[in-house]
Amino acid sequence: MSLTLPENFKEHYRTLSKTKSDDFNNIDIEEFFTYCGLPLRKALRYNTLKYSGTNGKEIFINETKKQKWIIEPVQWCDNGYFIDRKEEAKSIAIGTTIPHVLGGIYLQEASSMMPVTALFHGHENTDFSTMCIGDLAASPGSKSTQIAEKMQGKGILLTNELSSTRLKALYSNLERCGVSNSLLTHYDAENLCNLLPNTFDFLLLDAPCTGEGTVRKNFKALENWSPDDAITMANLQKKLIVSAFTALKNGGELVYSTCTLGDAENRDVVNYLRETFPNQVEIISLENLFDGADKAITHEGYLQIWPQIFDSEGFFVAKIRKNQNQETEQTVMQNILNTQDSKQIEKNLKKFPFQKATRKQEKTITDILHTQWGCTLPRTFELWTRGEKIKEWWAFPKGIEHFVSKIKVDRIGVKIGELHTKGWKTVYEFCSAFGNICTKNTIEITEEQVKKVYAGENLHFENVQKKETKKTTEIMLLYKKFPVAIGKMTITGNNGKWKNQLPRVLLRKLQ
């Protein structure tokens, strides 16, 4: 399939290149049109939550060789790679490979990795334990999982998605990638920020846009293109960026990004924020974000990624710091606070269906985890519970009370297990999020055995050492140290039968 760009689109950008020549320095507009019609290079990130430790990258590189993938580093993301495949590997969908299914990799367009890199630039040694970071338009989770890698399970990661149909994909990807510190919400981003003023240390607003930069992977992106679309979208973006800015703490930082190219949705939106808060907005230049960033930098310090510069999607990225100014702060914040209902806050707390564990309960669950898995939950988590006959136990990041008192939350943290009258049952979510810190009752399995597990089969093991006090116990399966699944192992003599308890929704045929 070939791409024919709309004539009004080409004429629009030809005119801009002449009337705003300073904005098109070193940009050949005809080359831009040519690149819009070229196939987009595939890219991925390897997940440092799963490929962890000092040799995580080495294990990933070895896996790419086994899969017959040809990789090239993405210069603005330490764990990002462009990917090509040898002919014999092209018939296998990357999404059906073991590295993907076990959360080791995330398919993500290379330019899309840039906003998160910008968000954390200059904070490489920051401790995020008491911080809150938000992704305001999060689905399907590419940037949220990238943020989670940077946080390494510390602090709170609020992932918000307005679309109910996309919420499921977001949660699925967070779970697959072993994200443990997320707080999932389903709000209009403007309303969410208005309910949470002065809350976030860092925010990512990857705003909804006309998507001009995505045409290389979606030839229909410009099918009904009109310059008026950008004006309509910009009105929404201005509301979003103002509300996001007010949700920042003083000294907090916001990254605003789009996958479109026109000024109306990019520069003009950021400039609108500067005009709204003239004494608070500080633009942080991204000229030193990575080697070569100067090729795409604007005079303001924004990144304008034209497809031909890095052979990627088109993108725009701006970074903003919120400086304190009491007069402006109080005026805006008072308007927001006046819209909040204190009775609603109290009602939300009463409706929250979880209770924080007592010291006695906490000791019980901690002892179970230590005895069964040889692990202790990181100190940045707290145990919460719900249920009567069957008690569910969850690991929540510390500090969630601030959020559940003000907003409705769809999902928090990680469910780790259930306490039944017959005993304890560990669930898959614990395996995905905390399996890499377990030191007991684990068995390393082969690639073929992983495929059998995902096909829903039970496994049989020979020469299993039987514990004196137990004939049946929970066993976690690992593949190259990756947590795969948890099941009950029944031992007869020296032979063991592992009963597969992988959730049915995860079952699939692996290549």
Catalytic residues: 259
SS3 488: strand
For residue 259, which of 406, 111, 476, 394 has the smallest C-alpha distance? Answer: 111
Helices (H) and strands (E) in the chain, counts: 17, 23
Cβ 192 vs Cβ 336: under 8 Å: no
SS3 237: helix
Phi first, then psi: give them for residue 490, nearest 5 degrees: -105, 125
For residue 20, which of 298, 226, 400 has the smallest C-alpha distance? Answer: 298
Q: Which residues pair with 499 in a beta bridge?
A: 488
Tokens representing 279 are 């004494």
> Among all chains, which residue has been given the structure tokens 């703490």?
249
Report the 3 state secondary structure along 184-195. Answer: EECCCHHHHHHH
Cβ 174 vs Cβ 412: under 8 Å: no
First-to-last C-alpha distance (Å) of the chain: 28
Tokens representing 473 are 């116990």
Tokens representing 314 are 């088109």
Tokens representing 186 are 């389903």
CA atoms of 220 and 217, how far apart (whole Å): 9
Cβ 311 vs Cβ 212: under 8 Å: no
Residue 499: HSE in the Cβ half-sphere, 13 Å Cα cutoff: 7
Residue 408 CB contacts under 8 Å (≥ 6 apart), including other chains? 185, 186, 187, 348
**Integer CA distances (angstroms), 61 to 56, 57, 65, 178, 456, in order:** 9, 6, 7, 20, 29
CA atoms of 338 and 261, how far apart (whole Å): 37
